[in-house]
Amino acid sequence: MYLKNIRLQQFKNYQKAQVQFSKEINCFVGVNGSGKTNLLDAIHYLCLTKSAINGVDLLNILHNKDFFTVFGDFDLEGKEIEVRCIFEAGKKKQVLQNGKAIEKMSEHVGLLPVVIIAPDDTLLIKGGSEERRRFFDNMLCQMDKQYMDRLVRYQHFLKQRNALIKQFADKGKWDKAFVEPYDKEIIELSKLIATSRKSFTEEYGPLLKEFYDIISDNQENIDIQYDSHCLSEDFASEFKNNWQRDFMLKRTNMGIHKDDFQFGISDYPIKKFGSQGQQKSYVIALKLAQFQIFLTHKKTKPILLLDDIFDKLDDIRIAKLMNLVADHRFGQLFITDARPERSKAILAAIEAESKFFLIENGLISTDVF
Ligand SMILES: Nc1ncnc2c1ncn2[C@@H]1O[C@H](COP(=O)(O)OP(=O)(O)OP(=O)(O)O)[C@@H](O)[C@H]1O
């Protein structure tokens, strides 16, 4: 699949912009803060109806304006898909596919797979469990609509239950009858979601190892594990028996929102024992395995967004990644770089069509070289 063009209005630092892309490699160059990442983010928005950077849509509107639009035309294995995302302050976001309004975002998410490799990806290793859950949940949501619906329902019930617990704490009294319907839903959904995460990790793990070996070129043994307390036989009773702790801490302390994914290297946590280089390789492998799993399930090559990677990766890892590009493992690629000459030199060595775009303070010009 590929994105043919994009039209922006009042999205982040773009007043108005319109560009035609190459089917192969597109490189956005320009000084720091010019809007390269914002343009990548607009592509992400079209695919997933949300920003990769800012979950609050109000902040994605150009300063002092009250709406933004992001439009784009995709070719999905020969099928034309026009996507329109419109957000106006104080109103519900609108997404249209070929002119037809999307009611539930799950109807759109997953249709146009996208993978982003960005500088703050190391948070996947260094950050808390929330980062890892978000990464795997996003991936699963793009592949499995039922998973997305379950996750949305889970978050809804969890929010309701937490609000109820706060009320109990204010009154100083726990009311079992009120909380029981939420317990039932949360327990049931936790088991289903944890089971999906577990079987997904089993399919994803071997791909992760394969890409880690390619990128790192060494013999370390890496692994990934997902062990959820929600999968234990006693989970339902443990969840209910935990009410005193919930009452004391004023929130729900068991369920899939507490799970974590363990990233290991030579049988130890990579977060604590991995070198910087090993962690970088692991993060790229996580993303390339994501690309491969989408390709397998969706039967189309996802769009790959590479934000600032020439700056953040060392020469060896860049060379490994570019070997994969040269082997045509990927489909359409979007790359940002603050140093045009560097990206030109790297991409000149690859047999693929590259188009360069110069970004200057929210203005885009083509034919840079
Ligand atoms: N809602 C908004 N309205 C106006 N400008 C915005 C908005 N959100 C972000 N910006 C501006 O966009 C710019 C950052 O753009 P972006 O992150 O795309 O830069 P970049 O070219 O990728 O930079 P770098 O090379 O440093 O990564 C900043 O100047 C920021 O102030």
Q: Which 8-state DSSP code applies to residue 313?
A: S
Could you give the dihedral angle defined by the CA atoms of residues 363, 364, 367 and 369, in that order, rounded to the nearest 10 degrees? 70
pLDDT in tens, 227-285: 899 999 999 999 999 999 999 999 999 999 999 999 999 999 999 999 988 998 999 99
pLDDT in tens, 129-159: 999 999 999 999 999 999 999 999 999 999 9
Instruction: List, in sequence order, every residue forming a beta bridge with 132; answer none if it has no partner.
Output: none
CA of 96 to the centre of ligand 1 (A): 26
Decide if 51 is inside a domain: yes
| 3-class SS of residue 140 | helix
Element (H, E) at 116: strand 114-117
What's the chain's Rg over C-alpha atoms? 22
pLDDT band of 367, cuts 50, 70, 90: low
pLDDT in tens, 340-363: 999 999 998 888 899 999 999 999
* Range 292-311 average pLDDT: 94
* Range 324-335 average pLDDT: 92
Closest Cα to atom 28, ligand 1: which residue? 33
Decide if 288 is inside a domain: no
Element (H, E) at 364: strand 363-366
pLDDT band of 316, cuts 50, 70, 90: confident
Other beta carbons within 10 Å of 141 = 20
Beta strands 14-20 and 25-29, pairing class? unpaired
The pLDDT assigned to 314 comes to 83
Closest Cα to atom 15, ligand 1: which residue? 35
Other beta carbons within 10 Å of 197 = 23
Closest Cα to atom 17, ligand 1: which residue? 37
Decide if 219 is inside a domain: no
- Is the beta carbon of 12 within 6 A of some atom in ligand 1? yes
Higher pLDDT, 96 or 327: 96
User: Ligand 1: which atom is nearest the Cα of residue 119?
Assistant: 27
Range of the domain at 82: 1-113+300-369
CA of 154 to the centre of ligand 1 (A): 34
The pLDDT assigned to 251 comes to 96
| Type of residue at 147 | Y
Decide if 143 is inside a domain: no
pLDDT in tens, 153-212: 999 999 999 999 999 999 999 999 999 999 999 999 999 999 999 999 999 999 999 999
How many angstroms separate the Cα of 53 from the Cα of each of 99, 113, 119, 121, 266? 27, 17, 11, 12, 33
- Is the beta carbon of 41 within 6 A of some atom in ligand 1? no
Decide if 15 is inside a domain: yes
Closest Cα to atom 7, ligand 1: which residue? 12
The Cα 192–Cα 256 span in angstroms is: 10
The Cα 22–Cα 367 span in angstroms is: 12
Beta strands 114-117 and 303-306, pairing class? parallel
CA of 279 to the centre of ligand 1 (A): 27
User: Ligand 1: which atom is nearest the Cα of residue 34?
Assistant: 21
The pLDDT assigned to 158 comes to 98
- Is the beta carbon of 44 within 6 A of some atom in ligand 1? no
- Is the beta carbon of 362 within 6 A of some atom in ligand 1? no
User: Binding site membership for ATP: which residues?
Assistant: 30-37
Decide if 103 is inside a domain: yes
Number of domains into which the chain is organized: 1
pLDDT band of 119, cuts 50, 70, 90: confident
CA of 209 to the centre of ligand 1 (A): 35
pLDDT exceeds cutoff 80 at 311? yes
The pLDDT assigned to 127 comes to 95
The enclosing domain of 34 has a CATH number of 3.40.50.300
Note whether 333 and 325 are within 8 A (CB): yes
pLDDT exceeds cutoff 70 at 331? yes
**Residue appearing with tokens 């929330």:** 130
- Is the beta carbon of 38 within 6 A of some atom in ligand 1? yes
Closest Cα to atom 25, ligand 1: which residue? 32
Burial code of 239-254, b = ≥16 C-beta within 10 A, e = fewer?
beeebeebbeeebbeb
Decide if 58 is inside a domain: yes
Q: Could you tell me which residues come within 8 angstroms of residue 281 by beta carbon, excluding any fewer than 6 positions away?
A: 212, 215, 216, 317
Ligand 1 site-directed mutation target among 38, 43, 116, most atoms within 8 Å of CB: 38
User: Binding site membership: which residues?
Assistant: 30-37
pLDDT in tens, 43-89: 999 999 999 999 999 999 999 999 999 999 999 999 999 999 999 99
The Cα 318–Cα 309 span in angstroms is: 8
The Cα 288–Cα 278 span in angstroms is: 15
Decide if 167 is inside a domain: no
Across the beta sheet with 114-117, the strand order is 114-117, 303-306, 333-337, 25-29, 354-360, 363-366
Closest Cα to atom 13, ligand 1: which residue? 33
